[in-house]
Amino acid sequence: MSKWKLSALIMLLPFAASAQSGGESVSKHFNMFVTHHTKILIDAAESMPADKYGYKPTAAQWTFGKIIAHMAGDNRVTCSAIAGVAPEKSPEPSATAPKEELVSALKNSLTFCEQAVAKVTDGMLGDSVTYYGERATRASPLIGLVEDWSDHYSQLAGYLRLNNVLPPTAKNGGM
């Protein structure tokens, strides 16, 4: 088990204990995360000017458009695992597609993720699903989603700041 997954599982243990004792459910917290991040990811994608979608801080980094395209494609795989269904056989959008197309693909993938996560109950977290071709518990893609969206949002926020655009979480005192 990777270090991040082990760390995430350790962080989730109090929630699991709380859910077992009648406290707040773990699935409720995943839903809250998805609702919050759906908003800020869309806001970040919409905030970057179209002519900056090809921007990348260094030659080794992805462009802003590549991050959006990657998230749209990866959400399909991860949220299909959360839903317990096989992912669609559609390709990841092109990193050089127009902003409108990339934002639309991201929004569609986030809507699919919201729907998938909304159906998960605490009792389903230990269910076996296929995640990137491997058998895993349903909690694994949920943890992967948290880790991936947090990582990519931080990239997007940095790219926005480097282009003199205030990231969503820095507006109005943060979110």
CATH number at residue 55: 1.20.120.450
Domains: count for the chain: 1
Residue 16 domain-assigned (yes or no): no
C-alpha to C-alpha distance for 57 and 73, rounded to whole angstroms: 22
- For residue 120, tell me if it sits in a domain: yes
DSSP letter string over 36-70?
Answer: HHHHHHHHHHHHS-GGGTT--SSTTSPPHHHHHHH
Q: Under 8 Å CB-to-CB from 120, ≥6 apart: which residues?
A: 27, 30, 82, 138, 142
The answer to the question of residue 161 being in a domain is yes
Q: What is the pLDDT of residue 165?
A: 97
Q: Look at residue 146 and tell me if it is in a domain.
A: yes
| Structural domain contains residue 100 | yes
Which pLDDT does position 172 carry in this prediction? 73
The pLDDT value given to residue 19 = 47
Q: Is residue 18 situated within a structural domain?
A: no
- What's the pLDDT at 2? 59
Q: Which domain holds residue 64?
A: 25-173
Q: Is residue 14 assigned to a domain?
A: no
Residue given tokens 């518990």 in the structure block: 137
Q: Quick check: is 102 in a domain?
A: yes
- Contact yes or no for 117/31 (Cβ under 8 A): yes
- What pTM was estimated for this model as a whole? 0.85
Which residue ranges of the chain lie beneath pLDDT 50?
A: 10, 14-15, 17-19, 21
